[in-house]
Structure 1
């Protein structure tokens, strides 16, 4: 059984702790991260904490190119590795009680309690120190995306007279830990004070790659009982000092409001400055309670559609809500220039950039739990970057378009050979998202226009990337890395070959339905695509009845994971990379990923044989892995395995399964907990535009319920001792429930099969 680390309490709507985790502070910071899609922050204390921790504040779309260099032997390599960078630290304060600074790593504090309320995105902590109860409350507004609110309350609890001093910072002297290391990113362009606060206007330092510099303007203002007594600029920070005396049984409040504007939205500095002043002035007329209520109401609207209710397991309930909360704190589709990074706005690993995770894992969730415009914006994000994807293909000497593994702009900015050049299956995921959107919504408008432009260029890439084997009279794809990144530079990855031919077929069919002469797809080109479709090679083993992950895989020592000494796990933290690559162990779903994508193409017998063969070899050391296995296990009737994999994906971060949550949350894989319940336990399928369900109820649960948007309808599905499907909005719809066709007009109820 995998060792878990659980430092936060179990509560259906909250993430709680009653101690400061000195040794696990980084993990605690990750788990209490908040954001609003525009910016985000790890759960750092505002006050000084001199112990080990990871200070992190991030603004969506603001990044910097890594200084990594490579040599001539890697022709075609990206020039840089893009990295999300630490933005200005605007949460920081230094708190002095009776002239002594409070350091939460060393101070003798009592009655500490930390709570992240997922209902409204408000993070609160309080403690007693030196006779004063300190309460800190913060949220990043989803009503005004440029606004972060910090409220501090000081209550005298011991009868003595106390002085309270707060030094409030906007600090530009910050750096990253994951890359660029101690390099400073920000140059101070301007700074100053106002009657009620201060500001810093900063710009990212120049880079040698021609990447645009970002400008960021942060302004802090105050409300409450304190007076500003000093304002200085020191060591790259503006510092406002606020003082007040705290009599016995009295309470003081200090509200710090920070607005953050960036050059992503303003080309002209004077316009940005004027907008910052205007925003601050308009907010000065709004009370804290009004801001708080707007935050609560905004989240309530999101939860009304998105919430998954689970009866019988607070652990499972907390897990799914935590994941949905963090997903929507990262991305809610307002900005088509943005995408979803694997760590979101909670850390620096993976560079904060866009991966294929969005198209493969996030699109299904956002299709069901948000307006279709959200997913449409995700598709437009890739369409906007089609020229850059064509550039990436040319860098490899190939035709068409190669979408990047890692990007901010559409140009590949990943610097690992086996990823940049070989993990080309990501190109198929971009096309699959177009299919998924079209099939789910029933709207083919995007497919017929922007979608086809993307599909044609991806198809041209695959047609050029394959090669013809005269010996076998088949087409093959050599030198790739499949989803299983514990195998590099392999030949004929079944999943990659399957995706390539599917793209060629889907694109050909779309062109037949929606001719686009201006795309210049010739008859000869279509004929070549068809030849590749007909003659593609797929590694299979008839005796085992499986699709072989790649040529040579069956020649490995196929010892199941269960026979490994648990001390070896996770492999990536205990084995050398050489040993990992030579092993049979699978990081995440690979063949099974393809079976999940194209589940209507394979029989239950084929699915069972492949699952039974590959799952025992899978270490699930990718956060993307458990959900796919849970969905397939549920379909196969492996209920216990389905629940086990759900628990792993739902509580991956809360229980620190992979021992790496301290670096930030696994945002894109958080969709997996929802997928495991909806596509797994409830067996929701949408093949060929036909919506169907075949739910089962986990033994330890009393019930579960969720909503979905589907083709203009709002449905609620409730599973307990029976299955109830309610049509809440929209016109009647034909459904399949346990293989029975019904016409849903208002409510349908049946027993659990």
Structure 2
């Protein structure tokens, strides 16, 4: 299989050969979404070769009973799974009664697939010779509407090339689907009704257990050489399936097209008894507008997104394609229009990780959404966690914590923990710190403090209580220790005193106390309300601070670095460069036992702390820790290269920073980890954005001001990006030797560039 088959292009992802071995990978790479639903790039027509079928509805999931650990106290009862939803894209195509199936065709030529990221559509075209020797040209265009997010649209055209032919289109919807990833092969969907009205069809189904009610719908129109046909279809209706068959003779060289409108209405947005009515309204509007107008609206909607979110790179097509691919998929996954939703690590591109929410959102995604959209989008992501606070408290209670201590879940759909690996679920507790850090990061960037007295302080208090109870006083060390954890490096489990975990625990407590004091002095009504609700006393706060001030940090005098955990120097410290390349990736070649005893680091761990808390350490200290830990890092997490790219840029190591950038931006396009067939790495894509803006652009917020230390890789001629900072848009254009700043806003803004204060005025170019 060719892992580097995507054609470099500034605005499109392009594949120019039909290779059955690449179909699953391409189904991931060419996935489409609109924030409310998404789907892998499965073929509309039949395909009998290896394929991973997947259509997904945001927020609709199933609690799949966990396979391991369920008998242990505190263990999650289920693993939430995003569900492969009833399919609406299917269009069986028969040519002289033979089904079109690329896996069975005698010959497939001129195959091309294009995901146009600028305009938000997926195109596929090819010439095929069927077993009956008929040659046809096929062109298919599909998109999921941003304006009407319950609607998807397909235009499918067939032209007979070597003879006239009888062509039958059979569009269908089907609820008899299964998940690729299922623990017990449960039945996830219960089909309630299959109905039709004229040329519209509807399948109402609900999920088992969670009882999400959905309506999958479709309607089609036929065109002969662009002239609309009125053909009464034959109807094939079954318990979980309904298809319409449209047949007509097509002369050699003429084109028969079908426009199919389909999608989902769900009871998250409508009354469950009105889903068919809501679907009819969507179809009526779609038919009224028609394919061309809907496509034009799609182009305009994406133009508005790109106007703010685009990053341009001159002189490096692969780098340009990589960053746009990342920005495109982030926007396909989450647009910030529904505060009940969040960002799953695979988005709508696969089923791994269950489609659930991880700490990735707070650590990596919030900066992207804060800077490329209105700050209300980032606030929605914070409120998502506030709305789950009671569940986080219940999660902690199951583990023996009390007094309102909260442990936010490692993986969740509704606030309950639903991850089923003990060493992650119960030990990777640093995620609590990322939740708190996101509150701090939001205030630091937006200047909006209102969230903290209104909602955020309640979250911080519950997290501080957790850290206070989770720490143990060691009489041997005369310090507080945190035992039995997994840090961000998941290649070490059940270790003691992971430095990053201990550091963020201390920071969380002190940050919470700072905010309690500020709210007491500035927001008296909120202070009284929160203290009464939380039943928090001054003596309890004093106990917290004793832990924070007395927490233990393992340190090596010999290496002059904080140790990743107590036993790190006990390992056989062989660097990655000395590792036999045939052993990579180690997570696919080694036993877990061997990995856990090795010094190899999956992603930034101690360095994650240096990324979050850069201002707490000198550049010299960063350099020492980077030089010590990076040589042991295998970067087998999608979240690894971006942090290292930012820090390499901070240290002026631009070749290394560029290498890490290329790896994070093309992680999926070039399939570095040999797993793209399972879906894309959506949350790490936000880290790619940070690699440019925070890494090469050097953007930070310090002392309430936006600061930049721009650098440029030698491989690039120039690059530019925009950030929305406190309701004003700053455009940054970095060239070799100088940087331009432009301000779109109403007020002058002081920024710091390379340590010097610069005043930028609206619509006035400033060159530094």
Normalising to structure 1: TM-score of the pair? 0.97
Q: After superposition, where does 1:497-576 map in structure 2 within 5 Å?
A: 497-515=502-520, 516-517=527-528, 518=532, 519-576=534-591
Please tell me whether the aligned partners of residues 66 and 76 of structure 2 are also in contact (alpha carbons under 8 angstroms): no
Change (3 A) 1:35 1:228: farther
- In the TM superposition, what whole-angstrom CA distance separates every residue of 1:541-587 from its partner, at most 9, and x where no partner exists? 12211111000101111110011111111110000011001100000
Cα distance, 1:229 vs. partner?
2.5
| Corresponding position of 1:118 | 117
- In the TM superposition, what whole-angstrom CA distance separates every residue of 1:613-635 from its partner, at most 9, and x where no partner exists? 00010000000000000000000
CA distance in structure 2 between the partners assigned to 1:551 and 1:409 by the alignment: 35
Cα distance, 1:36 vs. partner?
0.3
CA distance in structure 2 between the partners assigned to 1:71 and 1:650 by the alignment: 37
CA distance in structure 1 between the partners assigned to 2:605 and 2:554 by the alignment: 13
Q: Aligned to 2:21, what secondary structure does the other structure show?
A: coil
CA distance in structure 1 between the partners assigned to 2:290 and 2:284 by the alignment: 12
| Corresponding position of 2:523 | none
| Corresponding position of 1:654 | 669
Please tell me whether the aligned partners of residues 305 and 707 of structure 1 are also in contact (alpha carbons under 8 angstroms): yes
Please tell me whether the aligned partners of residues 4 and 655 of structure 1 are also in contact (alpha carbons under 8 angstroms): no
| Corresponding position of 2:182 | 179
CA distance in structure 2 between the partners assigned to 1:4 and 1:20 by the alignment: 12
Q: In the alignment, which of 734, 751, 755 is matched to residue 735 of structure 1?
A: 751
| Corresponding position of 1:315 | 318
| Corresponding position of 1:429 | 434
Please tell me whether the aligned partners of residues 176 and 183 of structure 1 are also in contact (alpha carbons under 8 angstroms): no
Change (3 A) 1:540 1:71: closer
Change (3 A) 1:51 1:59: same
Q: Aligned to 2:20, what secondary structure does the other structure show?
A: coil
CA distance in structure 1 between the partners assigned to 2:123 and 2:623 by the alignment: 47
Q: In the alignment, which of 46, 49, 52 is matched to residue 51 of structure 1?
A: 49
* Larger CA deviation: 606-615 vs 42-51: 42-51
CA distance in structure 1 between the partners assigned to 2:70 and 2:327 by the alignment: 45
| Corresponding position of 1:490 | 495
Q: Aligned to 1:259, what secondary structure does the other structure show?
A: strand
Cα distance, 1:282 vs. partner?
2.6
CA distance in structure 2 between the partners assigned to 1:434 and 1:230 by the alignment: 58
| Corresponding position of 2:131 | none
Tell whether 2:355 aligns with 1:352: yes
Q: In the alignment, which of 133, 136, 141 is matched to residue 140 of structure 2?
A: 136
Please tell me whether the aligned partners of residues 174 and 184 of structure 1 are also in contact (alpha carbons under 8 angstroms): no
Cα distance, 1:324 vs. partner?
0.4
- In the TM superposition, what whole-angstrom CA distance separates every residue of 1:267-300 from its partner, at most 9, and x where no partner exists? x432222222222223221121110011000000
| Corresponding position of 1:442 | 447
CA distance in structure 2 between the partners assigned to 1:153 and 1:250 by the alignment: 10
Cα distance, 1:133 vs. partner?
1.4
Unaligned runs of 5+ in 1: none
| Corresponding position of 1:718 | 733
Q: Aligned to 2:242, what secondary structure does the other structure show?
A: strand
Runs (4+) off by over 6 Å: none
CA distance in structure 2 between the partners assigned to 1:606 and 1:748 by the alignment: 37
Q: After superposition, where does 1:643-682 map in structure 2 within 5 Å?
A: 643-682=658-697
Please tell me whether the aligned partners of residues 13 and 318 of structure 1 are also in contact (alpha carbons under 8 angstroms): yes
Q: In the alignment, which of 621, 640, 646 is matched to residue 631 of structure 1?
A: 646
Cα distance, 1:71 vs. partner?
5.2
Change (3 A) 1:92 1:344: same
Change (3 A) 1:730 1:467: farther
Q: How many residues align?
A: 742
| Corresponding position of 1:336 | 339
CA distance in structure 2 between the partners assigned to 1:5 and 1:319 by the alignment: 15
Normalising to structure 2: TM-score of the pair? 0.95
Cα distance, 1:464 vs. partner?
0.8
CA distance in structure 2 between the partners assigned to 1:698 and 1:181 by the alignment: 50
Unaligned runs of 5+ in 2: 129-133, 224-228, 521-526
* Larger CA deviation: 70-79 vs 661-670: 70-79
Change (3 A) 1:738 1:195: same
CA distance in structure 2 between the partners assigned to 1:184 and 1:174 by the alignment: 9
CA distance in structure 2 between the partners assigned to 1:544 and 1:405 by the alignment: 33
CA distance in structure 2 between the partners assigned to 1:168 and 1:44 by the alignment: 15
- In the TM superposition, what whole-angstrom CA distance separates every residue of 1:284-325 from its partner, at most 9, and x where no partner exists? 211211100110000000000000000010000000000000
